[in-house]
A and B are shown apart, each in its own frame.
Chain A
Amino acid sequence: MPKNDTLQGSLDLLVLKVLSKRAPLHGYAIIGAIEEVSGEVLRVEEGSLYPALHRMEEAGLIRAKWIAKGPGRRARVYDLTPRGSKQLASEEARWTAVADAVQRVLKFA
């Protein structure tokens, strides 16, 4: 299991990636999706998700709307903005580059 702070840096990337494939999702579903896709390896700290979502929303990477969810209940679902897609692409590229580099170092026997 990765330590919390490692994930912290990549939480934005994960959220953006999940939203790019399965939008719109609410907070709980985002956590579920990340866990499911990563094969239960990555576990998102529930408490840090919402500030991250709100921050990305303020930055204009994702947008939120309220949808009705049964009588008298609603959920706040998130969706990627065009700016978010762009951000995702560059973040992904950067992550891949870093991961490759780490991989090469690890293979250095």
Chain B
Amino acid sequence: MSWIRRVSNVFRQRRLNREIEEELASHIEEAVEHGRSAEDARRALGNLLSHRERSRDIRLLPWLDSLMSDIVFGWRQLNKRPATSAAAILSLGLALGATTAVFRLVDAVLLRTLPVANPERLSYLAVSFVDREGHSDYSDEFDYPTFRRYRDQATDSADLMVIGIAARQDALLPLSGEPEKINRQFVSGNVFSVFGLQPALGRLLAPYDDVSPGGAPVAVLSYDFWTRRLGRDPDILGKTFRIGNDRFEIAGVGPKGFIGTEPGERTDVFLPAMMNAQAINSPGWTWFRIWMRPKPGWTPDQVGQALHAALLPKQIEEKQRILLLPAAAGASSLQRQYRQSLIILAILVVLVILVACANVGNLLTAQTAARAREMALRVSIGAGRWRLVQLVLVESALLAVASSALGALFAEWSAPLVVSLLRMPEDPVHIVLNVGWRELGLGIALAFLVTLIFGLTPALRASAAPPVGSLKGGEDPRSRRRLMNAMLAAQIAFCVMVQFVAGLFVTTFQRLVTRPLGFSAEHVLVMDVSATGEQPLASWIHVADALRQTPGVENVSLAGWPLLSGNGWTLNVRVPGRPAEPRSPYFLDVSQDFFATMRIAMRGGRDFRPGDVSGSSGPGASPPSVGIVNESFARTYFDGGNPVGRWVDVRRGQGPYTPLQIIGYVRDAAYRDLREPIRPTVYVAYGARTNSALLVRTTGDPLALAPLLRQRVAEAGPVFRVGTIQPQSNFVRWHLLRERLLAALSAFFALVALVLAAIGLYGVLHHAVTVREREIGIRMALGARPANVIRGVTGAAIGVVCLGLILGSCGGVAAGRVVQALLFEVKATDPEALTIPALILLGAAFLAALPPALRAARTDPAQTLRSE
């Protein structure tokens, strides 16, 4: 009880003082009552103040008391140097915030384990292969026949699971008239039991739900969806809802916190894999990942070997191999798309924080000149060594807490912003960002450590050195300058590395954005239209014509899929009398007016017209007999000559070659991916299909027309249903997402690092001028010219900056190798990639050096010498 009171007494000092005073006063009164004179009594009692101090120290915790006063004092100290303190807090705070944000993202996307039993024992299958260009790659999506083969091979050694790729689909929920998009995931019947999950309501899917195709139309809702969309309705069990054309009965609700297996997606309903009935017996239709948990007594390697026996002879011939990838943190395309980018961002952000640490170190060290005197004064009036250390500790803690708070705020704001950059706004990424206590704690610790290391040195030095030296102002600043220069060099080196990598990403983004597409994506609306059953070309043309009548529509055409949708279709092509090309050209089935709608210029020949035999991309269709080719095709197959009227042989799969006549010749346009060079492409005539992309070129804002167009399609025929409608420009932007993220974040980091490096350089020079003011004054009094003075002050710094530049450039080139795979048409070894960051840095260095240099040059010798 006593020390609690002593702690509380620290905070009630005024009252405590008053009590002690009152007691002493009553003592004197008592003495007066007993006939002594007040003066005598007071003299007998001695120095009242010192009594009060002694009694006070007994009745409270002196260390806490001094700590309190240190905090107040430390705060005053920080306030006294607002520029330095703000710079330190800002730079550490920004760097900490960026780090926290990036690491929270890394945690959410790559590291956080799924809330399932023994996640570390889970892995998912992939097949590695070498593509036609010789790049090694892997695919992790499988078809059901392959899954059966693997499952039969590994029955004894492992539980194999179908984990469907989460996909958005139209659904009609109970008590709701409007169809809405929900995220569904097909899973095999053993998934929930292997994951060790318990239902929050009803039951989960079981093996008996997953026996025959289309056999058990039941669904399990995710707890999140049940809460978000259905308000935790307990009577939901047994009700039915529709997804697409199928009706499902709600069997249960999954456990709280389990939102599927794909970081970035949030699954709303889980359906039995067998309910994807059409896909069950379709080889080549890949729609799920295969997850695996070894049975007790089996290692993943042994299972992998067992599975290897299930590879087809052709796969073994092509040296394909089964990979088992860890699935503890789930598996998603988001991870695959961003894994490398996130790791690179994490490295960049660590570099930024190193720059910030060096920066704060320099700022604090630069204060030492002023600080050393204060410390010496404290030592000379009797402050103990521990007292000085405590003073510095408190200041460090204040800096650390302030910058961490700033960092936490910044992270809170920026992390969701970064998440929103990961995908298109229409299809946002759903990830749960943890509060990040761990990162925050680490941040505070780091900030504390940095400020402490650099703050403690002057305290220890001052308390160790005889105060006289410092008070005389004659201490040796050289050792400190060496430390500052080393930190400055490191800071500039890290900064150059960040600049360099950021430059590569920004250039990549620019090259991709300004890359000629060959078509105009502006004012084009892509409507995803599906039909019940296959519809003949005439019906589709009828829909297109109906849209064409709409005011504001300039042109309409049909395509198997829009350009840059990520889809692609190839057929083998050979030109009689020429050796075969290593890569097959792309094919795309399009209707009349496709080139006019997309603004792809015709170079020769004619457009498709009614009566051209179609070459549908659908399975089992006959090979096309007429086609329009692009310039790249003409270059590759006809050495750049006009291909119109020429014949080529086309083969579908392993079928026979059939002749195809080239009737038209168009300019190159990007087809599948923005990054790949434009490949030879054959456009073939449109035919009967179950679904189409309707491409609508409008005169005004395309999205404004969307509701009207949707209605027109419905009027054109009851068999047609409109899915998503989005501008063609979305498909272009979609290809730029990762590059945009990398460019934006790395440019931000580069800016922060640059500002920090500039502040650091300024601090060092400012300090150099401050400690040498007297020397400069003497030199100028003896006739030194300002130019000489400036050279003397900045000479060392220029050397340090150059050293940092060289080190950073070396580091940058090394780092460039690592990021090469993410770059487009830019190499880490390009001369401009290195010179631009160097020039930017030199520019910043010049600006940072200017004020201290001018100050040195303007030194008034008379004034300086007089002030000493």
Contact = CB atoms under 8 A, between A and B. Distances in A.
A28 B55 contact: no
B26 A76 contact: yes
Interface stretch (B43-51, B431-439, B564-572, B755-763): B43-51
A27 B41 CA distance: 13
A75 B55 contact: no
A47 B46 contact: yes
Nearest to A47: B46
21 contacts: A26-B26, A26-B27, A26-B30, A27-B27, A27-B30, A28-B26, A32-B34, A46-B41, A47-B51, A50-B23, A50-B24, A51-B55, A54-B59, A55-B58, A58-B2, A58-B59, A73-B26, A74-B22, A74-B26, A75-B26, A76-B26
A69 B26 contact: yes
A99 B731 CA distance: 102
Contact of B29 (A46, A60, A73): A73
Q: Which of A47, A58, A75, A76 has the most CB of B within 10 A?
A: A47
Contacts of A58: 2, 6, 58-59
A54 B53 CA distance: 12
Given A26-B30, A28-B27, A54 B46 contact: no
B23 A27 contact: yes
A104 to B, nearest CB: 37
Contacts of A76: 19, 22-23, 26
Nearest to A27: B27
Name the prevailing secondary structure of the B interface residues: helix
A47 B44 contact: yes
Contacts of B41: 46
Contact of A51 (B26, B34, B54): B54
Interface of B: 2, 6, 19-20, 22-24, 26-27, 29-31, 34, 41, 44-47, 51, 54-55, 58-59
Contacts of B55: 50-51, 54
Contacts of B47: 47
A54 to B, nearest CB: 5
Nearest to B29: A73
A27 B29 CA distance: 12
A51 to B, nearest CB: 5
A46 B26 contact: no
B31 A28 contact: yes
A29 B225 CA distance: 78
B45 A46 contact: yes
A60 B2 contact: yes
A75 B24 CA distance: 10
Contacts of A27: 23, 26-27, 30
Given A46-B46, A58-B58, A58-B59, A51 B51 contact: yes
A12 to B, nearest CB: 13
A47 B27 CA distance: 11
Name the prevailing secondary structure of the A interface residues: helix
Contacts of B31: 28
B313 to A, nearest CB: 89
A62 B2 CA distance: 12
The 10 closest A-B pairs by CB, nearest first: A47-B46, A28-B30, A54-B58, A51-B54, A46-B44, A76-B23, A54-B55, A46-B45, A75-B26, A28-B27
Contact of B51 (A26, A28, A32, A50): A50
Interface of A: 26-29, 32, 46-47, 50-51, 54-55, 57-60, 69, 73-76
Nearest to A64: B23
Contacts of B20: 50, 54
A51 B58 contact: yes
A107 to B, nearest CB: 37
A69 B29 CA distance: 11
Given A27-B27, A28-B31, 9 more contacts: A26-B27, A50-B51, A51-B54, A51-B58, A54-B58, A58-B2, A58-B6, A75-B23, A76-B26
Contacts of B6: 58
Contacts of A51: 51, 54-55, 58
B807 to A, nearest CB: 60
Contacts of B27: 26-28, 46, 50
Contacts of A74: 22, 26
A57 B54 CA distance: 14
B328 to A, nearest CB: 56
Nearest to B3: A58
Contacts of B59: 54, 57-58
A54 B6 CA distance: 12
Contacts of B30: 26-29, 75
Nearest to A32: B34
A22 B20 CA distance: 23
A19 B24 CA distance: 19
B31 to A, nearest CB: 6
B819 to A, nearest CB: 65
A29 B34 CA distance: 11
Contacts of B51: 47, 50-51
Contacts of B54: 51
B705 to A, nearest CB: 84
A74 B21 CA distance: 12
B62 to A, nearest CB: 12
A75 B25 CA distance: 9
A73 B20 CA distance: 14
A57 B56 CA distance: 12
Contacts of B24: 50
Nearest to B23: A76
A32 B31 CA distance: 10
A46 B34 CA distance: 15
Q: Which of B27, B31, B51 has the most CB of A within 10 A?
A: B27
B30 to A, nearest CB: 4
Contacts of B45: 46-47
Nearest to A48: B46
A70 to B, nearest CB: 10
A75 B2 CA distance: 22
Contacts of B29: 73
A18 B51 CA distance: 23
A46 B45 CA distance: 5
A28 B46 CA distance: 14
Contacts of A55: 58
